Amino acid sequence: MTLLLAIKGSGDNWSPRPWRDRFRERLPGREIAFPEEIEGRPETVRYAAVWKPPVGLLTRYPKLEVIFNLGAGVDALLEDKSLPQVPLVRVVDPDLTKRMTEYVVLHCLLYHRQHMRYVAQKAKRVWDAPDQWAARDVRVGLLGLGEIARDAAEVLARIDFQVAGWSRARREVPGIACFHGAEGPNGLGAFLARTDILVCLLPLTPETRGILSKKLFAGLARDGVLGKPVIINAGRGGLQVEADILAALDDGTLGGATLDVFETEPLPASSRLWDHPLVTITPHNAADSSPGAISDYIAGQILSYEAGKPLANVVDRVKGY
């Protein structure tokens, strides 16, 4: 059997060769090949491990049994309407989850501990010690209560933030106030009304596209110790309306925005987000996808599938995640 490897990504961690080397170590005796290496014998491909492959590529392999996405989010892959109707498995792995948790906790703490203020003070040689509230006075709200958000929520709660999460279906997570759905006393409105730091960890689907909008920002709490609510988006750029974020920062609806993902990536040099003093930008690397950890995870799934066990973390194509 051949495992096809098709990777197109920006950033050092998407360089294809380290991925191939690691898969070869973990699956000895199997062919691990890039598309150009198996031209003329497409029927050998049984599995594909992919990140943003060219549209239509996977239709070439008639014996393909499973597609493994090399990341957690499958939105880019599902845009390919010709994607073969075989199981699509996404990444759920402690390495990726913990990296995301680091990002979320770091940026919540930067807002909570007023870090930008000290950066500005240093530039002006100002020694000023403003009041510092406790974490228990700050309400963090996570949009999404999935694999990543639950881990981040647990760590945030451990350091005493008041943590809530919002999901599609009703969830129960110990120590976390759980909200779900659009309406009702436990719906989105109630969740936003108790949120000072909004962290978006949703997948991009037709239902969630553009959710970080003017309307949503207007629903956030305005009585918090931070003075104004702030947002952190590490989900996908398509979840945010960038013009609305800029307008909300300019009119004082939001006090800050930390963005790892953008409507267009890389973020164009012409974007006003680059210049905005209240915006923090990271280049879609809240969590690097580690070739080591993720190849191990996929190789493990292949071996267990071949031993007759069910695949884990198969995407529901109707829900889109």
Q: Which long-range contacts (CB under 8 A, 24 or more apart) does 274-278 make?
A: 276/246, 276/249, 278/249, 278/254
Tokens for 253, please give them: 């609806």
- Tokens 């279906």 locate to 169
Is 276 in the active site? no
Query: Is the Cα dihedral 187, 216, 168, 294 positive or negative?
Result: negative
Of 2, 162, 167, 195, which one interacts with ligand NDP (CB under 6 A)?
Answer: 167
Reported in sequence order, the residue ranges of the chain that DSSP labels E, i.e. its strands, are 2-7, 31-33, 45-51, 66-69, 88-89, 139-143, 162-167, 177-180, 197-200, 230-233, 256-259, 279-281
Minimum CB separation of residue 247 from ligand OXD in Å reads: 26
Per CB under 6 A, 53 contacts ligand OXD:
no
Task: Report which DSSP code applies to 57.
Answer: G
Q: Of residues 247-266, which lie at the interface with ligand NDP (CB under 6 A)?
A: 260-261
Of 5 and 201, which CB lies nearer to ligand NDP in the complex structure?
A: 201
Q: Taking CB under 6 A as the rule, does residue 147 contact ligand NDP?
A: yes
Nearest to 159 by CA among 135, 195, 131: 135
- Which one of the spans 20-28, 40-48, 71-79, 221-229 is the region binding ligand OXD (CB under 6 A)? 71-79
Question: What is the C-alpha to C-alpha distance for residues 149 and 154, in angstroms, rounded to an integer?
Answer: 9
Site pattern 53..82 for ligand NDP (x: CB under 6 A) = -------------------xx---------
Question: Would you count residue 210 as binding ligand OXD (CB under 6 A)?
Answer: no
Residues that bind ligand OXD (CB under 6 A): 71-73, 91, 287, 289
- Contact positions vs ligand NDP (CB under 6 A): 72-73, 92, 96, 100, 144-149, 166-169, 171, 201-205, 207-208, 234-236, 260-261, 284, 286-287, 321
